[in-house]
Structure 1
Protein backbone atom coordinates (compact mmCIF):
# COMPACT_ATOMS: atom_id res chain seq x y z
CA UNK A 1 0.00 0.00 0.00
CA UNK A 2 2.89 2.34 0.81
CA UNK A 3 4.37 1.87 -2.64
CA UNK A 4 1.04 2.59 -4.24
CA UNK A 5 0.68 5.94 -2.43
CA UNK A 6 4.22 6.95 -3.33
CA UNK A 7 3.78 6.17 -7.02
CA UNK A 8 0.48 8.01 -7.22
CA UNK A 9 1.96 11.09 -5.55
CA UNK A 10 4.91 11.11 -7.94
CA UNK A 11 2.66 10.90 -10.97
CA UNK A 12 0.43 13.64 -9.65
CA UNK A 13 3.43 15.90 -8.90
CA UNK A 14 4.82 15.50 -12.42
CA UNK A 15 1.48 16.15 -14.11
CA UNK A 16 0.79 19.10 -11.82
CA UNK A 17 4.14 20.67 -12.70
CA UNK A 18 3.47 20.32 -16.39
CA UNK A 19 0.04 21.93 -16.10
CA UNK A 20 1.13 24.85 -13.95
CA UNK A 21 4.39 25.54 -15.86
CA UNK A 22 3.44 26.82 -19.32
CA UNK A 23 7.10 27.36 -20.21
CA UNK A 24 7.81 23.62 -20.04
CA UNK A 25 9.70 22.60 -23.17
CA UNK A 26 7.40 21.39 -25.98
CA UNK A 27 8.50 20.77 -29.58
CA UNK A 28 6.55 23.30 -31.68
CA UNK A 29 4.39 22.08 -34.52
CA UNK A 30 6.10 22.22 -37.86
CA UNK A 31 9.57 21.84 -36.36
CA UNK A 32 10.77 18.27 -36.93
CA UNK A 33 12.20 16.72 -33.85
CA UNK A 34 14.75 14.83 -35.93
CA UNK A 35 16.33 18.16 -36.91
CA UNK A 36 17.77 18.65 -33.44
CA UNK A 37 21.31 17.47 -33.00
CA UNK A 38 22.37 15.44 -29.98
CA UNK A 39 24.12 18.50 -28.59
CA UNK A 40 20.94 20.55 -28.91
CA UNK A 41 18.88 17.73 -27.38
CA UNK A 42 21.24 17.60 -24.41
CA UNK A 43 21.00 21.36 -24.05
CA UNK A 44 17.22 21.15 -24.15
CA UNK A 45 17.26 18.49 -21.46
CA UNK A 46 19.50 20.62 -19.24
CA UNK A 47 17.24 23.61 -19.85
CA UNK A 48 14.19 21.55 -18.89
CA UNK A 49 15.84 20.38 -15.69
CA UNK A 50 16.87 23.96 -14.79
CA UNK A 51 13.38 25.32 -15.44
CA UNK A 52 11.80 22.54 -13.36
CA UNK A 53 14.13 23.36 -10.44
CA UNK A 54 13.41 27.07 -10.78
CA UNK A 55 9.70 26.35 -10.81
CA UNK A 56 9.84 24.12 -7.73
CA UNK A 57 11.78 26.81 -5.84
CA UNK A 58 9.38 29.56 -6.86
CA UNK A 59 6.27 27.48 -6.22
CA UNK A 60 7.50 26.49 -2.77
CA UNK A 61 5.45 24.51 -0.23
CA UNK A 62 2.15 25.37 -1.92
CA UNK A 63 3.03 23.32 -4.97
CA UNK A 64 4.21 20.34 -2.96
CA UNK A 65 1.11 20.54 -0.78
CA UNK A 66 -1.04 20.50 -3.91
CA UNK A 67 0.73 17.42 -5.16
CA UNK A 68 0.26 15.62 -1.85
CA UNK A 69 -3.40 16.58 -1.78
CA UNK A 70 -3.76 15.37 -5.35
CA UNK A 71 -2.24 12.01 -4.48
CA UNK A 72 -4.40 11.71 -1.38
CA UNK A 73 -7.47 12.56 -3.40
CA UNK A 74 -6.65 9.80 -5.85
CA UNK A 75 -6.37 7.26 -3.03
CA UNK A 76 -9.61 8.53 -1.47
CA UNK A 77 -11.47 8.28 -4.75
CA UNK A 78 -10.32 4.66 -5.14
CA UNK A 79 -11.46 3.74 -1.65
CA UNK A 80 -14.74 5.65 -1.71
CA UNK A 81 -15.69 4.89 -5.30
CA UNK A 82 -14.51 1.33 -6.06
CA UNK A 83 -13.54 0.63 -9.61
CA UNK A 84 -10.60 -0.63 -11.54
CA UNK A 85 -8.14 0.93 -9.09
CA UNK A 86 -9.78 -0.68 -6.08
CA UNK A 87 -9.50 -4.06 -7.77
CA UNK A 88 -5.74 -3.59 -7.98
CA UNK A 89 -5.53 -2.66 -4.29
CA UNK A 90 -7.74 -5.59 -3.30
CA UNK A 91 -5.63 -7.98 -5.33
CA UNK A 92 -2.53 -6.75 -3.53
CA UNK A 93 -4.12 -7.28 -0.13
CA UNK A 94 -5.10 -10.83 -1.01
CA UNK A 95 -1.84 -11.75 -2.67
CA UNK A 96 -0.60 -13.64 0.39
CA UNK A 97 -3.76 -15.69 0.81
CA UNK A 98 -3.35 -19.47 0.76
CA UNK A 99 -3.98 -20.69 -2.82
CA UNK A 100 -7.22 -22.67 -3.03
CA UNK A 101 -8.61 -21.43 0.29
CA UNK A 102 -11.89 -19.52 0.17
CA UNK A 103 -13.04 -16.59 2.28
CA UNK A 104 -14.89 -17.52 5.53
CA UNK A 105 -18.60 -18.26 5.27
CA UNK A 106 -21.26 -17.07 7.73
CA UNK A 107 -20.09 -19.62 10.31
CA UNK A 108 -16.41 -18.72 9.90
CA UNK A 109 -15.48 -21.86 7.93
CA UNK A 110 -13.31 -21.89 4.81
CA UNK A 111 -13.31 -24.37 1.94
CA UNK A 112 -10.03 -25.57 0.48
CA UNK A 113 -9.92 -26.83 -3.11
CA UNK A 114 -6.69 -28.25 -4.44
CA UNK A 115 -5.54 -25.90 -7.25
CA UNK A 116 -5.57 -27.54 -10.66
CA UNK A 117 -2.00 -26.38 -11.39
CA UNK A 118 -0.53 -27.40 -8.05
CA UNK A 119 2.51 -29.61 -8.44
CA UNK A 120 3.20 -32.66 -6.32
CA UNK A 121 5.97 -35.23 -6.03
CA UNK A 122 3.83 -38.24 -6.86
CA UNK A 123 6.20 -40.17 -9.06
CA UNK A 124 7.12 -40.18 -12.73
CA UNK A 125 4.36 -40.69 -15.27
CA UNK A 126 1.44 -39.65 -13.09
CA UNK A 127 -1.59 -38.23 -14.83
CA UNK A 128 -3.09 -34.90 -13.64
CA UNK A 129 -4.62 -35.29 -10.20
CA UNK A 130 -8.38 -35.07 -9.67
CA UNK A 131 -8.87 -32.19 -7.20
CA UNK A 132 -10.34 -32.57 -3.74
CA UNK A 133 -12.04 -30.23 -1.29
CA UNK A 134 -12.62 -30.00 2.45
CA UNK A 135 -13.68 -27.41 5.00
CA UNK A 136 -11.83 -26.05 8.03
CA UNK A 137 -12.56 -23.37 10.63
CA UNK A 138 -10.98 -19.97 10.17
CA UNK A 139 -7.29 -19.67 11.14
CA UNK A 140 -6.38 -23.12 9.86
CA UNK A 141 -3.42 -22.75 7.49
CA UNK A 142 -1.47 -24.84 5.01
CA UNK A 143 1.79 -26.29 6.32
CA UNK A 144 4.71 -26.85 3.91
CA UNK A 145 5.30 -30.47 2.93
CA UNK A 146 8.82 -31.85 2.55
CA UNK A 147 9.79 -35.06 0.76
CA UNK A 148 11.73 -35.84 3.93
CA UNK A 149 8.43 -36.15 5.84
CA UNK A 150 7.26 -39.57 6.96
CA UNK A 151 5.12 -40.75 4.08
CA UNK A 152 7.48 -39.19 1.54
CA UNK A 153 6.11 -38.06 -1.78
CA UNK A 154 2.65 -39.49 -1.11
CA UNK A 155 1.80 -36.72 1.35
CA UNK A 156 0.10 -34.16 -0.86
CA UNK A 157 -0.99 -31.60 1.75
CA UNK A 158 -0.78 -30.63 5.39
CA UNK A 159 -3.12 -28.24 7.18
CA UNK A 160 -3.08 -27.28 10.84
CA UNK A 161 -4.13 -25.04 13.66
CA UNK A 162 -1.74 -25.36 16.64
CA UNK A 163 -4.61 -25.10 19.12
CA UNK A 164 -7.11 -27.39 17.39
CA UNK A 165 -5.47 -30.14 15.35
CA UNK A 166 -3.94 -31.24 12.06
CA UNK A 167 -4.94 -32.52 8.62
CA UNK A 168 -2.84 -34.73 6.34
CA UNK A 169 -3.83 -35.75 2.81
CA UNK A 170 -2.12 -38.86 1.43
CA UNK A 171 -2.49 -39.65 -2.27
CA UNK A 172 -1.14 -43.03 -3.37
CA UNK A 173 -1.15 -44.87 -6.73
CA UNK A 174 -3.61 -47.78 -6.72
CA UNK A 175 -1.15 -49.86 -8.75
CA UNK A 176 0.92 -50.10 -5.59
CA UNK A 177 -1.82 -52.24 -4.08
CA UNK A 178 -3.16 -54.19 -7.05
CA UNK A 179 -2.28 -54.61 -10.71
CA UNK A 180 -5.85 -55.59 -11.48
CA UNK A 181 -7.31 -52.14 -10.82
CA UNK A 182 -7.68 -49.94 -13.89
CA UNK A 183 -7.32 -46.21 -14.44
CA UNK A 184 -10.80 -45.47 -13.03
CA UNK A 185 -10.54 -47.01 -9.60
CA UNK A 186 -13.23 -47.15 -6.94
CA UNK A 187 -12.74 -47.73 -3.23
CA UNK A 188 -14.87 -50.89 -3.52
CA UNK A 189 -12.34 -52.35 -5.99
CA UNK A 190 -9.56 -51.83 -3.47
CA UNK A 191 -11.51 -53.69 -0.81
CA UNK A 192 -14.18 -53.57 1.91
CA UNK A 193 -13.77 -51.15 4.86
CA UNK A 194 -12.05 -53.63 7.19
CA UNK A 195 -9.47 -54.57 4.53
CA UNK A 196 -8.79 -50.92 3.62
CA UNK A 197 -8.25 -49.76 7.21
CA UNK A 198 -6.06 -52.80 8.00
CA UNK A 199 -3.91 -52.14 4.92
CA UNK A 200 -3.64 -48.35 5.06
CA UNK A 201 -4.27 -47.45 8.70
CA UNK A 202 -0.67 -48.28 9.67
CA UNK A 203 0.55 -45.79 7.03
CA UNK A 204 -1.39 -43.09 8.87
CA UNK A 205 -0.72 -43.89 12.52
CA UNK A 206 2.58 -45.77 12.15
CA UNK A 207 1.38 -48.94 13.89
CA UNK A 208 -1.09 -51.80 13.60
CA UNK A 209 -4.73 -50.70 13.83
CA UNK A 210 -6.05 -53.90 15.38
CA UNK A 211 -8.30 -53.07 18.33
CA UNK A 212 -8.10 -49.31 17.66
CA UNK A 213 -11.03 -48.81 15.28
CA UNK A 214 -13.86 -47.21 17.29
CA UNK A 215 -16.13 -46.37 14.35
CA UNK A 216 -16.45 -47.49 10.73
CA UNK A 217 -19.03 -46.06 8.32
CA UNK A 218 -19.73 -46.00 4.58
CA UNK A 219 -21.08 -42.84 2.92
CA UNK A 220 -21.91 -41.96 -0.68
CA UNK A 221 -21.74 -38.47 -2.20
CA UNK A 222 -22.50 -37.80 -5.88
CA UNK A 223 -21.93 -41.41 -6.83
CA UNK A 224 -18.58 -41.80 -5.05
CA UNK A 225 -18.15 -44.06 -2.01
CA UNK A 226 -16.22 -42.94 1.07
CA UNK A 227 -15.05 -45.09 3.97
CA UNK A 228 -14.90 -43.23 7.28
CA UNK A 229 -13.02 -44.48 10.33
CA UNK A 230 -12.31 -43.23 13.83
CA UNK A 231 -9.32 -44.65 15.68
CA UNK A 232 -8.07 -44.34 19.24
CA UNK A 233 -5.29 -44.23 20.33
CA UNK A 234 -3.91 -42.17 18.73
CA UNK A 235 -6.86 -39.87 18.07
CA UNK A 236 -7.44 -39.85 14.32
CA UNK A 237 -10.28 -39.85 11.80
CA UNK A 238 -9.61 -41.27 8.33
CA UNK A 239 -11.74 -40.74 5.22
CA UNK A 240 -10.75 -42.99 2.32
CA UNK A 241 -11.88 -43.01 -1.31
CA UNK A 242 -10.49 -43.64 -4.79
CA UNK A 243 -10.60 -41.62 -8.00
CA UNK A 244 -8.77 -42.03 -11.30
CA UNK A 245 -5.70 -44.12 -10.57
CA UNK A 246 -5.23 -42.94 -6.99
CA UNK A 247 -6.28 -43.73 -3.45
CA UNK A 248 -7.05 -40.69 -1.27
CA UNK A 249 -6.59 -40.87 2.51
CA UNK A 250 -7.81 -37.77 4.37
CA UNK A 251 -6.64 -37.79 7.97
CA UNK A 252 -7.70 -35.52 10.83
CA UNK A 253 -5.81 -35.86 14.10
CA UNK A 254 -5.17 -34.12 17.41
CA UNK A 255 -3.80 -34.67 20.88
CA UNK A 256 -5.97 -35.64 23.84
CA UNK A 257 -6.84 -32.07 24.83
CA UNK A 258 -7.64 -31.05 21.24
CA UNK A 259 -9.80 -34.14 20.82
CA UNK A 260 -11.75 -33.25 23.95
CA UNK A 261 -12.25 -29.57 23.15
CA UNK A 262 -12.67 -29.62 19.37
CA UNK A 263 -14.04 -33.09 18.62
CA UNK A 264 -17.19 -31.74 16.95
CA UNK A 265 -15.20 -29.49 14.59
CA UNK A 266 -12.62 -32.19 13.85
CA UNK A 267 -15.34 -34.65 12.89
CA UNK A 268 -16.98 -32.02 10.70
CA UNK A 269 -13.65 -31.50 8.92
CA UNK A 270 -13.24 -35.25 8.37
CA UNK A 271 -16.75 -35.65 6.96
CA UNK A 272 -16.36 -32.66 4.62
CA UNK A 273 -13.74 -34.33 2.39
CA UNK A 274 -14.77 -34.76 -1.25
CA UNK A 275 -12.97 -35.67 -4.47
CA UNK A 276 -14.39 -33.52 -7.23
Structure 2
Protein backbone atom coordinates (compact mmCIF):
# COMPACT_ATOMS: atom_id res chain seq x y z
CA UNK A 1 0.00 0.00 0.00
CA UNK A 2 2.88 2.39 0.76
CA UNK A 3 4.32 1.78 -2.71
CA UNK A 4 1.02 2.70 -4.31
CA UNK A 5 0.88 5.95 -2.37
CA UNK A 6 4.43 6.84 -3.42
CA UNK A 7 3.63 6.15 -7.06
CA UNK A 8 0.53 8.30 -6.92
CA UNK A 9 2.44 11.10 -5.23
CA UNK A 10 5.16 11.27 -7.92
CA UNK A 11 2.51 11.23 -10.63
CA UNK A 12 0.74 14.17 -9.00
CA UNK A 13 3.93 16.18 -8.81
CA UNK A 14 4.78 15.61 -12.47
CA UNK A 15 1.35 16.76 -13.62
CA UNK A 16 0.96 19.82 -11.33
CA UNK A 17 4.47 21.14 -10.59
CA UNK A 18 4.83 23.02 -13.91
CA UNK A 19 1.50 23.49 -15.64
CA UNK A 20 2.74 26.58 -17.58
CA UNK A 21 6.00 26.26 -19.54
CA UNK A 22 6.61 30.06 -19.11
CA UNK A 23 5.24 30.92 -15.68
CA UNK A 24 5.18 34.51 -14.44
CA UNK A 25 6.83 35.18 -11.12
CA UNK A 26 4.42 35.63 -8.28
CA UNK A 27 4.93 37.89 -5.30
CA UNK A 28 2.64 35.81 -3.09
CA UNK A 29 2.94 32.20 -4.13
CA UNK A 30 0.28 29.99 -2.62
CA UNK A 31 1.64 26.79 -1.15
CA UNK A 32 -1.13 24.71 -2.73
CA UNK A 33 0.97 21.55 -2.63
CA UNK A 34 1.29 21.85 1.15
CA UNK A 35 -2.46 21.45 1.57
CA UNK A 36 -2.22 18.30 -0.52
CA UNK A 37 0.85 16.92 1.26
CA UNK A 38 -0.48 17.31 4.80
CA UNK A 39 -3.46 14.95 4.52
CA UNK A 40 -1.40 12.62 2.34
CA UNK A 41 1.38 12.50 4.94
CA UNK A 42 -1.25 11.80 7.58
CA UNK A 43 -2.63 8.97 5.47
CA UNK A 44 0.83 7.54 4.93
CA UNK A 45 1.58 7.69 8.65
CA UNK A 46 -1.69 5.97 9.49
CA UNK A 47 -1.02 3.31 6.87
CA UNK A 48 2.49 2.73 8.22
CA UNK A 49 1.08 2.43 11.74
CA UNK A 50 -1.51 -0.11 10.63
CA UNK A 51 1.11 -2.15 8.85
CA UNK A 52 3.37 -2.14 11.90
CA UNK A 53 0.67 -3.38 14.31
CA UNK A 54 0.93 -7.17 14.72
CA UNK A 55 -2.07 -9.22 13.69
CA UNK A 56 -4.58 -9.65 16.46
CA UNK A 57 -5.15 -13.23 17.58
CA UNK A 58 -8.95 -12.94 17.74
CA UNK A 59 -9.32 -15.99 15.52
CA UNK A 60 -6.69 -18.00 17.39
CA UNK A 61 -8.32 -20.23 19.99
CA UNK A 62 -7.02 -20.88 23.47
CA UNK A 63 -6.18 -24.48 24.33
CA UNK A 64 -6.80 -26.84 27.22
CA UNK A 65 -4.67 -29.86 28.03
CA UNK A 66 -6.64 -33.10 28.07
CA UNK A 67 -5.52 -35.97 30.31
CA UNK A 68 -6.44 -39.41 28.97
CA UNK A 69 -6.52 -42.44 31.26
CA UNK A 70 -7.03 -45.26 28.72
CA UNK A 71 -9.06 -47.10 31.35
CA UNK A 72 -10.57 -50.44 30.39
CA UNK A 73 -14.27 -50.64 29.59
CA UNK A 74 -14.85 -52.42 32.91
CA UNK A 75 -13.30 -49.53 34.85
CA UNK A 76 -14.66 -46.78 32.65
CA UNK A 77 -16.80 -44.07 34.24
CA UNK A 78 -14.63 -41.91 36.45
CA UNK A 79 -12.54 -41.96 39.58
CA UNK A 80 -13.47 -41.63 43.22
CA UNK A 81 -11.77 -40.43 46.37
CA UNK A 82 -8.83 -38.11 45.88
CA UNK A 83 -7.77 -39.61 42.54
CA UNK A 84 -7.91 -37.50 39.39
CA UNK A 85 -7.59 -37.96 35.65
CA UNK A 86 -4.38 -35.95 35.72
CA UNK A 87 -2.81 -38.28 38.28
CA UNK A 88 -3.95 -41.36 36.36
CA UNK A 89 -3.20 -39.99 32.88
CA UNK A 90 -1.41 -42.21 30.36
CA UNK A 91 -1.40 -39.63 27.57
CA UNK A 92 -2.16 -35.95 26.95
CA UNK A 93 -3.04 -33.69 24.04
CA UNK A 94 -4.21 -30.12 23.57
CA UNK A 95 -7.78 -29.24 22.61
CA UNK A 96 -9.24 -25.84 21.62
CA UNK A 97 -11.15 -24.51 24.61
CA UNK A 98 -14.36 -24.06 22.60
CA UNK A 99 -14.45 -27.67 21.35
CA UNK A 100 -16.89 -30.10 22.94
CA UNK A 101 -16.15 -33.53 24.35
CA UNK A 102 -18.15 -36.47 23.03
CA UNK A 103 -18.72 -39.00 25.76
CA UNK A 104 -17.58 -42.45 24.66
CA UNK A 105 -19.84 -45.35 25.64
CA UNK A 106 -18.58 -48.50 27.35
CA UNK A 107 -19.68 -50.55 24.34
CA UNK A 108 -17.74 -48.37 21.90
CA UNK A 109 -14.74 -48.35 24.19
CA UNK A 110 -14.81 -52.12 24.46
CA UNK A 111 -15.22 -52.79 20.72
CA UNK A 112 -12.89 -50.34 18.96
CA UNK A 113 -10.83 -48.97 21.84
CA UNK A 114 -11.93 -45.35 21.51
CA UNK A 115 -10.88 -43.61 24.70
CA UNK A 116 -11.58 -39.91 24.07
CA UNK A 117 -13.00 -37.61 21.43
CA UNK A 118 -13.56 -33.87 20.96
CA UNK A 119 -15.24 -32.03 18.08
CA UNK A 120 -15.68 -28.51 16.78
CA UNK A 121 -19.30 -27.54 17.56
CA UNK A 122 -19.33 -25.36 14.44
CA UNK A 123 -18.35 -28.32 12.26
CA UNK A 124 -18.70 -31.72 13.93
CA UNK A 125 -16.64 -33.50 11.26
CA UNK A 126 -13.61 -31.51 12.46
CA UNK A 127 -12.50 -33.62 15.41
CA UNK A 128 -9.74 -35.31 17.40
CA UNK A 129 -9.94 -38.73 18.98
CA UNK A 130 -7.72 -41.40 20.48
CA UNK A 131 -7.96 -45.19 20.35
CA UNK A 132 -5.81 -47.74 22.13
CA UNK A 133 -5.24 -51.49 22.09
CA UNK A 134 -3.66 -53.55 24.83
CA UNK A 135 -0.99 -56.21 24.32
CA UNK A 136 1.50 -54.27 22.16
CA UNK A 137 5.04 -54.02 23.47
CA UNK A 138 6.56 -52.36 20.38
CA UNK A 139 5.59 -50.83 17.07
CA UNK A 140 5.40 -53.00 13.96
CA UNK A 141 6.82 -51.71 10.63
CA UNK A 142 5.36 -48.35 9.65
CA UNK A 143 3.24 -49.53 6.69
CA UNK A 144 1.91 -52.47 8.68
CA UNK A 145 0.70 -50.22 11.50
CA UNK A 146 -1.29 -47.99 9.13
CA UNK A 147 -2.82 -51.00 7.36
CA UNK A 148 -3.88 -52.50 10.69
CA UNK A 149 -5.46 -49.24 11.80
CA UNK A 150 -7.47 -49.11 8.58
CA UNK A 151 -8.81 -52.65 9.10
CA UNK A 152 -10.95 -51.45 12.01
CA UNK A 153 -11.82 -48.05 10.52
CA UNK A 154 -13.86 -48.07 7.29
CA UNK A 155 -13.65 -44.29 6.99
CA UNK A 156 -9.86 -44.48 7.16
CA UNK A 157 -9.82 -47.23 4.53
CA UNK A 158 -11.81 -45.08 2.12
CA UNK A 159 -9.62 -42.06 2.83
CA UNK A 160 -6.40 -43.98 2.10
CA UNK A 161 -7.80 -45.51 -1.08
CA UNK A 162 -8.73 -42.06 -2.44
CA UNK A 163 -5.68 -40.23 -1.10
CA UNK A 164 -3.52 -38.09 -3.34
CA UNK A 165 -0.61 -38.54 -0.97
CA UNK A 166 0.15 -40.49 2.20
CA UNK A 167 3.20 -39.29 4.12
CA UNK A 168 4.85 -41.21 6.95
CA UNK A 169 7.78 -40.51 9.22
CA UNK A 170 9.25 -41.65 12.53
CA UNK A 171 10.20 -39.28 15.33
CA UNK A 172 11.37 -39.41 18.94
CA UNK A 173 10.39 -37.05 21.72
CA UNK A 174 12.68 -35.72 24.42
CA UNK A 175 12.23 -38.90 26.46
CA UNK A 176 13.23 -41.17 23.56
CA UNK A 177 9.64 -42.31 22.94
CA UNK A 178 9.16 -43.39 19.29
CA UNK A 179 6.14 -42.12 17.34
CA UNK A 180 4.95 -42.92 13.83
CA UNK A 181 3.49 -39.83 12.13
CA UNK A 182 1.10 -40.13 9.18
CA UNK A 183 -0.50 -37.42 7.04
CA UNK A 184 -3.22 -38.48 4.62
CA UNK A 185 -4.36 -35.99 1.99
CA UNK A 186 -7.60 -37.50 0.68
CA UNK A 187 -9.96 -36.42 -2.06
CA UNK A 188 -12.46 -34.94 0.41
CA UNK A 189 -10.73 -34.96 3.80
CA UNK A 190 -7.43 -34.66 5.59
CA UNK A 191 -6.14 -36.69 8.51
CA UNK A 192 -3.13 -36.56 10.81
CA UNK A 193 -2.27 -39.69 12.82
CA UNK A 194 0.29 -40.29 15.54
CA UNK A 195 0.93 -43.82 16.84
CA UNK A 196 3.14 -45.04 19.67
CA UNK A 197 3.53 -47.89 22.15
CA UNK A 198 3.85 -47.55 25.92
CA UNK A 199 2.64 -49.42 29.01
CA UNK A 200 2.15 -52.52 26.83
CA UNK A 201 -0.46 -50.61 24.80
CA UNK A 202 -0.69 -49.09 21.34
CA UNK A 203 -2.06 -45.53 21.27
CA UNK A 204 -3.35 -43.99 18.03
CA UNK A 205 -4.17 -40.28 17.99
CA UNK A 206 -6.28 -38.97 15.07
CA UNK A 207 -7.00 -35.43 13.88
CA UNK A 208 -9.63 -35.35 11.13
CA UNK A 209 -11.15 -32.56 9.05
CA UNK A 210 -12.81 -32.05 5.65
CA UNK A 211 -10.51 -30.36 3.17
CA UNK A 212 -12.28 -26.99 3.45
CA UNK A 213 -11.76 -26.93 7.21
CA UNK A 214 -8.22 -28.22 6.86
CA UNK A 215 -7.29 -25.31 4.63
CA UNK A 216 -8.85 -22.86 7.08
CA UNK A 217 -7.66 -24.40 10.38
CA UNK A 218 -4.41 -26.08 9.34
CA UNK A 219 -2.27 -24.42 12.02
CA UNK A 220 -4.72 -25.21 14.81
CA UNK A 221 -5.18 -28.83 13.72
CA UNK A 222 -1.44 -29.33 13.36
CA UNK A 223 -0.95 -28.01 16.87
CA UNK A 224 -3.45 -30.55 18.23
CA UNK A 225 -1.61 -33.30 16.39
CA UNK A 226 1.85 -32.23 17.55
CA UNK A 227 0.73 -31.92 21.18
CA UNK A 228 -0.04 -35.64 21.64
CA UNK A 229 2.37 -37.54 23.88
CA UNK A 230 2.32 -40.40 26.35
CA UNK A 231 2.95 -39.73 30.03
CA UNK A 232 6.26 -41.03 31.30
CA UNK A 233 6.07 -42.68 34.72
> TM range, normalised to the smaller chain?
0.5 to 0.7
C-alpha spacing 1:161/1:216, structure 2 compared with 1 (3 Å): same
Aligned residues: 152
Q: How do 1:42-191 and structure 2 match up within 5 A? A: 108-115=62-69, 119-121=71-73, 131-149=90-108, 152-163=111-122, 165-174=126-135, 185-187=137-139, 191=140
Alpha-carbon distance in 1 for matches of 2:149, 2:206: 11
- Report which of the two structures shows the higher radius of gyration computed on alpha carbons: 1
Contact residue 130 and residue 244 of structure 1 kept, 8 A: no
Q: TM-score, normalised by structure 1?
A: 0.48
More strand by share: 2
Contact residue 151 and residue 203 of structure 1 kept, 8 A: no
RCO greater where, 1 or 2, for CA within 8 Å and sep 6 or more?
A: 2
Alpha-carbon distance in 1 for matches of 2:91, 2:177: 12
Q: TM-score, normalised by structure 2?
A: 0.57
C-alpha spacing 1:194/1:256, structure 2 compared with 1 (3 Å): same
Q: Which runs of 5 or more structure 1 residues have no equivalent in the other structure? A: 1-105, 124-128, 176-184
Contact residue 112 and residue 152 of structure 2 kept, 8 A: no
Q: CA deviation at 1:109?
A: 1.7
The alignment yields a C-alpha RMSD, in angstroms, of: 2.8
Q: CA deviation at 1:217?
A: 1.5
Contact residue 147 and residue 153 of structure 1 kept, 8 A: no
Q: Which runs of 5 or more structure 2 residues have no equivalent in the other structure? A: 1-59, 76-87
